[in-house]
Every structure is written in C-alpha cells, then in structure tokens.
Amino acid sequence: MSRRAASFAAYGLLGMPLAMAALPVYIQVPIYYTSQLGLSLSLTGFVLFAARIVDTVQDPWIGLWVDRLARRSRLGRALWVACLVLIIAFAGLWLAPVSGPLLAAWLAFALIIVYTAHSVLNIAYLAWGARLAPDTVGLTKAAGWREAFGLAGVVLASTLPAWLVNAADRSSQQSMGAYSIAFALLLALGVTALLHRAPPWLHAQLAENSASWRVCLANQPVRRLLPPYFLNALSVSVPATLALFFIADVLVEPHWSGYFLGTYFLAGAAGMPVWMKLATRLGPARAWRLGMILAIITFVWAATLGPGDRYPYLAICVLAGLSLGADLVLPPVLLARLIPDRQAPAAYYGLWSLLGKLALALSGLALPWLAILDYQPGEIGSGGHALAWTYGGLPCFLKLLALWRLRNFHDSNGEQTT
C-alpha cells in the first residue's frame, strides 16, 4: 500500500466505530427496549422521535462550532472529549440502571447524549473528508475508504452482539456491555488515526468565517441537492427502524437477523467499488440515480413476503445491498463538490446532517403508526400486513420521489441527471 493510500485508510478507519454506534442505536434500540426491557411500542416510538428531533435541531450549530474549532486549530481536543462522552453514554444506553416508569426518561437522556457526541465526531469527520483532497478523484477515494470501513463497522454491529450471546450464553445486557468495550477501543483508535495519520484538513487556514445557513442555502446546486437527499434518507431510515420487527414477526426468522443484516451490508461493501467506478465514468449524480433504481426494483418485493420466506429475503438483501454503496458514497461526494473553496465545510455538513437526522426522527413515528394498526411486537400476525407494506412499500415510494427530484440536478461541474 502506498503512503497516500495508507493516509486515506487512516482517515477511513474512524468510519468503523462511528457505524458500530449508529447501527445499534437506530436499529436495535427499538426492539431492545420494547422486547427486552418492556417499554411500550408507542412510548418507545415517541421517545425516539423526540430525541431525534433534538439531535436534528442541534446539528447545524455543531457544524458552525466545528468550523470555528478547525480555524483555531482546537479541533483535536474537542474530538477527544466527544470520544470519551460517546463511549460512556453508549454503554449506558444498554446498561440502563433504572426500570419501570423511569425507563423512558433514561432512554431519552442516553439517546440525546449519544446523538450529541456522535454528531460532533461525525460532522467533523465528514467536513475533514471534504477538505483532504483538491479533486473529485481524491474526494471519491476518501469517501470510499470511509464508507468501506463504515460498512465493516455495520457488519460487526449486525453480527457481533448475536455472536456474543450465543458463544457464551450471555444475556442481552451482558453481550451489549462486551460490545461496548470493543466499540470503545476501536473509537479511540479511529480518533488517533484521524488526528495523526490522515491527510490534513486542506485550506482550513484560508477559509472564510463559517458559512451561515443562509449562505449554505443560497448555494443553488446545494439547495437542489437537499430535497432528493432527504427523501432518499427517509427511504433508508424507515426500513432501518423496522428491520428487526419485520424479520421477527413477518418472516418469523429472528435467529436469522444477523445473517440477513450481515449479508445486506457485505453486499453493500462488495458493490462499492462498482459505484466508485461508475461515478468516475458517468458522474456521481447519474451513478446515484442508477443505485436508486436498483434499490426500488429489488426492495419492493419485501412487502410481499411472509413466514418462512428466508431465502427470497436473503436474495433481496444481496440485490438491495448492492445499491447501498451508491447511497453511502455518492451523496457526500456530490455535496463536497458544491462547497466553494473559500467557505468552511462543516456548516454545510451540519445542514446535511440535520436532514439525515430529521429523516431518522420521522421514521420513529412508524412505531406508533403500526401500534394504531394493531401491530404488537412478538405477536405474529398482529398487523403483519401493515408492517410488511410499511417496511417494504413506503421506502420504494419515497425513493421514487427522490428520483423525481434529482432529475434536473446540476452539480458545479455541469453534470446533469437525465
């Protein structure tokens, strides 16, 4: 491996622990607190929504703050503080010291702290990636390393907790405690690699004062990119929130959940080099559009599945997973190309993160919606049809809307999706 490639790999490493934290928080927390700790489905959904709204609102402010720290060369200390806070809060999320009526309050408190620390690290990380290379090829390579390590973290998050439970007959809390230790070690390693081995944050010393949200939104190509990005993020967030419920109560294959999720994310990793090559040849917007089309064609069939359909669902995981690389790599590259050289990037990624978090917040409302439709976790057949179509049909409709909004998108280099 060349020195340049090694520096890109050092940048990408932090993507692994950040993904190891994000996946359990967004996918496993709902079923963990309802099925393991006894919190009601509706209350869990509303707590998730409220905590995610707080997380959504604060991200633009965090972006402005990160820009100021970068200009003053104080970012490293802030990243280490955020690292320590995230390690403690993430462990506390799974090892809840309370029960009964206080459980909902603990969930809200732990989620907000996890979200805040994770946002500081993630926004700084994305902004760093937008300023570590002067050209599209370098930006795409950096994004590829970041998302490849991120997918590795997702695969670990999908399989490691289940393996810990089965290997040593641990309880769910014990297995998540062990998982939290592994996460802490990798997070510390990732921050160290970013600060001491990654390519430097280019032009930080030349950037103007942090761009305000008005400045970000006045950038017309950015403004046109945000709606399809939000709709696509929402199309990913809904099935992420409902995946384990779908596997347990529609497919009735809860013991296969690790295999399904692992297959999906491994397919995403396998497809990532293809999307990077397509982005170089066709442009990132056209390549992203093709990824959306592949996702719709394959994932819509999930709404038609029922008990025992493990192998058709496994095939869907492979094909839909291949499209995942496009969603992960290409939108951040598009945004990075649209940020003027003389403007600090973290404010843009704060706004970007706001939309992604808003999509996650709205997806939490799927739980009380399903409760209204008589679905109850663990009760096979209760609201299963509504769960299947909310999980498989709604995301495809949202992706179609994202495709429609992306049809006239122009990037800064004149690319148009047609």
pLDDT in tens, 367-379: 888 888 878 776 6
Mean of the per-residue pLDDT values of the chain: 83
Asked whether residue 207 is domain-assigned, the answer is yes
Q: How many domains does the chain have?
A: 1
- Per-residue pLDDT band for 165 (boundaries 50, 70, 90) equals low
Q: Per mean pLDDT, which range of 216-220, 283-287, 324-328 is the poorest?
A: 216-220
Report if residue 21 sits inside a domain: yes
Per-residue pLDDT band at 381 (split at 50, 70, 90): low
Least Cα distance to 412 among 181, 227, 136, 123 occurs for: 136
φ, ψ (nearest 5 deg) of residue 410? -115, 135
Q: Is residue 60 part of a domain?
A: yes
381 occurs within a structural domain: yes
Q: How far is residue 197's CA from residue 104's CA, in Å, rounded to a whole number?
A: 41
Q: What CATH number is attached to the domain comprising 269?
A: 1.20.1250.20
Which residue, among 55, 53, 57, 52, has the nearest Cα to 30 in the 3D structure? Answer: 52
Q: For residue range 81-103, what is the model confidence (pLDDT) as tens digits?
A: 999 999 999 999 999 888 888 99
370 close to 387: Cβ distance less than 8 angstroms? yes
Q: How far apart are the first and last CA of the chain?
A: 38
Ranges 35-39, 85-89, 207-211, 257-261: which has the least confidence:
207-211
Helices of type H across 72-171 = 75-94, 102-130, 136-168
At position 175, the amino acid (one-letter code) is S
On the question of pLDDT at 208 being above 70, the answer is no
Rounded-to-integer distance, Cα 50 and Cα 321, Å? 30
**Which of 112, 255, 93 is closest to 173 using CA atoms?**
93
Residue with more model confidence, 234 or 215: 234
Q: How far is CA 338 from CA 204, 413, 414, in A?
A: 17, 9, 11
Residue written as tokens 């990824």? 291
Whether residue 126 is contained in a domain is answered as yes
- Is a pLDDT exceeding 70 seen at residue 182? yes
Show the domain range for 381: 3-405
Structure tokens at 30: 């709902």
Percent of the chain with pLDDT over 90: 28
Higher pLDDT, 145 or 400: 400
Examine residue 418 and state whether it is found in any structural domain, yes or no: no
Structure tokens at 295: 């996702």
Would you state the structure tokens that stand for residue 38, as one six-digit string? 């006894």
What letter does residue 304 receive in the DSSP assignment?
A: G
What gap in Å lies between CA 398 and CA 234, rounded to an integer? 7
Residue 398 or residue 197, greater confidence: 398
Residue 140: HSE in the Cβ half-sphere, 13 Å Cα cutoff: 21
User: Residue 312: pLDDT band by 50, 70, 90 thresholds?
Assistant: very high
Q: Cβ distance 385 to 51 under 8 Å? A: no
Confidence (pLDDT) at 81: 96
Angle (nearest 5°) at CA 64 between 62 and 69: 90
Q: Is residue 414 part of a domain?
A: no
Predicted TM-score (pTM) of this structure:
0.70
69 Cβ contact list (under 8 Å, min separation 6): 75, 78, 124
Structure tokens at 264: 């999906």
- 411 domain-assigned: no
- Mean pLDDT is lowest, of 86-95, 225-234, 257-266, 406-415, for 406-415
The b-or-e profile of 36-48 (16+ CB within 10 A means b, else e) is: ebebbbebbbbbb
